[in-house]
Chain A
Amino acid sequence: MFAVFGTPMTLIENLRQQQVPVFGLNPKTIKDVLQDLYNLGSLLGQEETAKQLIDQTLSAITTMQKRGSSTPTLPKVYLETWPQEPYYTFGPGSFGDDLIRIAGGENLGASADEAYPALSTDYILFENPDAIVLAYSVSGNPLEQVKSRPGWQTVSAVVQNKILVPADPNIYLRPGPRIPQALDELARFLHPNWF
């Protein structure tokens, strides 16, 4: 049995009392995800597959980091995870923070003091992000909704029309094996000249 973040501890204890082996997963960063992939591989006897996946991810990360280190100014990226005041984003020590940094961006939430900080419009306008990623699903047109928010017309990302609506927001929200896809989409959006 595998338990993830959110599984009640009492349930896990009950299962263990019934002699059911339970392995807990709660990855928060890219490093955690890779560690969990390795552990899962050895638990399930799939070391080879796990190693392949880890190597793929690591090589994607290395490639990105090389490009990033030769890019002089990195855009300030706001990865929005909740479309309403107070807005939410990724802070330091979070999956989204890792993704932005590796894909060649400066995370707007990096200076927060928690991993999933709440932000006011006031603060976001002050920080003035160069690029915005909308990682959630809403009905209607999320792009137009952002552009029509009162006051947001002065935000650099809105002026430059640098807003990404990902096909699958979950690859940014769920720390899982789809890291290369997220990095690829994000880097293509932030640095089209890398490709």
Chain B
Amino acid sequence: MRTFILGSLLLLALLAWGLFVGGAPLSMSEVGAAFVAPLGLAESPANFITIVWDLRIPRMLAAFCVGAALALAGALSQALFRNPLADPFILGTSAGASFGITLAFLFNLTYLAPGWLAMPPFAFMGSLVVTALVVMIGRKGSALPVNTLLLAGVAANYLFVSLSTAIMAFGREILNRTVFWSLEGLAGANWTSVWTILPGLIVASIIALSLARPLNLLLLGEESALGLGLAVPSVKWLIVGLISLLTGVAVSISGLIGFVGLVVPHISRMLVGAHHRRLLPMSFACGGILLLGADNLARSILPGSEIPVSVITALLGVPFFIYLLRKK
């Protein structure tokens, strides 16, 4: 309960802070006026209202959603592979999503659907194919040994990042679009980004939460889970699907952001233990809060401009990653 209250207060504080950071040097009262102006409570210039309501607010929501999605995908990966180092990045799932998007750019497929649906299907397909490939390469018989799995993931990561780079050589336009999309990250976030990630995030979160008990059983080992009556193969493929969906929608709006999926489930486990009924919501919330905070920071370090949020997550995540490695 205390964690919940503290977390909520932290979230509210970050949301309030985020209203004030950004290139525009708006004063406290200008932000306040723009914030309540749509309710008719104050007068504010149209461009100030746009800055607050169409740039800063959707940007914060998008950052929260991306963090939540990546952390949840990380928690699911760690349960599925029974490995504390598993996350969408290391398994090649993120690289698959970005490969899917690059392919969609190449074949001009992103115009097929309205804005919010333009990229997720391709990102989802890309991550699903790559994750499935990694699982199939990594397994030995029915077992899924951790070391081969991680090696397969690392190999897939290299392969699909290289393939994406190779596609960029196909022409200047595809190069521009891919580089734009990957460099922009959360900096280009708007309401469309929020609508892009929200449906997939909600659906995947509900299904993931309903899988809390099977996930706990999986931690006992597949044999025991099977013995306890769990349909292990279908549950495992469902989890692969969820990881791919979460990673796909996150990568669609933010590009590649590392370490959230790896680090957050560990922090969450320290806070609430390994039981998935508590671990999954905790990872969701911590991931959202962490990336929101990191993104606020990314927007406030340089005056008039910003640094990519993936730099901040890497600076926070790498020391933690090394700590995990050393602890083992």
- Give chain A's interface residues, CB within 8 Å of chain B: 84-86, 112, 117-128, 138-139, 150-151, 153-155
Contacts and interface: CB of A to CB of B under 8 A. Distances in A.
Given A119-B304, A120-B187, A126 B176 contact: no
Contacts of A120: 22-23, 187, 299, 304-306
Scoring B26, B173, B304 by chain A CB atoms within 10 A of each residue's CB, the highest score goes to: B304
Given A150-B192, A155-B47, A139 B304 contact: no
A134 to B, nearest CB: 15
30 contacts: A84-B180, A84-B184, A85-B184, A85-B187, A118-B304, A118-B305, A119-B23, A119-B304, A120-B23, A120-B304, A122-B22, A122-B23, A122-B24, A122-B55, A123-B22, A123-B304, A125-B51, A126-B23, A126-B24, A126-B47, A139-B173, A150-B54, A150-B55, A150-B190, A151-B50, A151-B54, A151-B55, A153-B50, A154-B49, A154-B50
Contacts of A117: 304-305
B36 interface: no
B276 interface: no
A86 B305 contact: yes
**Chain A to chain B: the 9 pairs with minimum beta-carbon distance, closest first:** A123-B23, A126-B24, A120-B23, A150-B190, A122-B22, A122-B23, A85-B187, A151-B54, A118-B305
B199 interface: no
B233 interface: no
B56 interface: yes
B59 to A, nearest CB: 9
Interface of B: 22-26, 46-51, 54-56, 173, 176, 180, 183-184, 187-188, 190-192, 299, 304-306
Nearest to A140: B173
A107 to B, nearest CB: 15
Contacts of B187: 85-86, 120
Given A119-B23, A126-B47, A112 B55 contact: no
B102 to A, nearest CB: 17
A6 to B, nearest CB: 20
Nearest to B56: A122
A113 to B, nearest CB: 8
Given A117-B304, A151-B190, A84 B56 contact: no
Contacts of B306: 86, 120
A129 to B, nearest CB: 10
Given A120-B22, A125-B55, A126-B23, A150 B304 contact: no
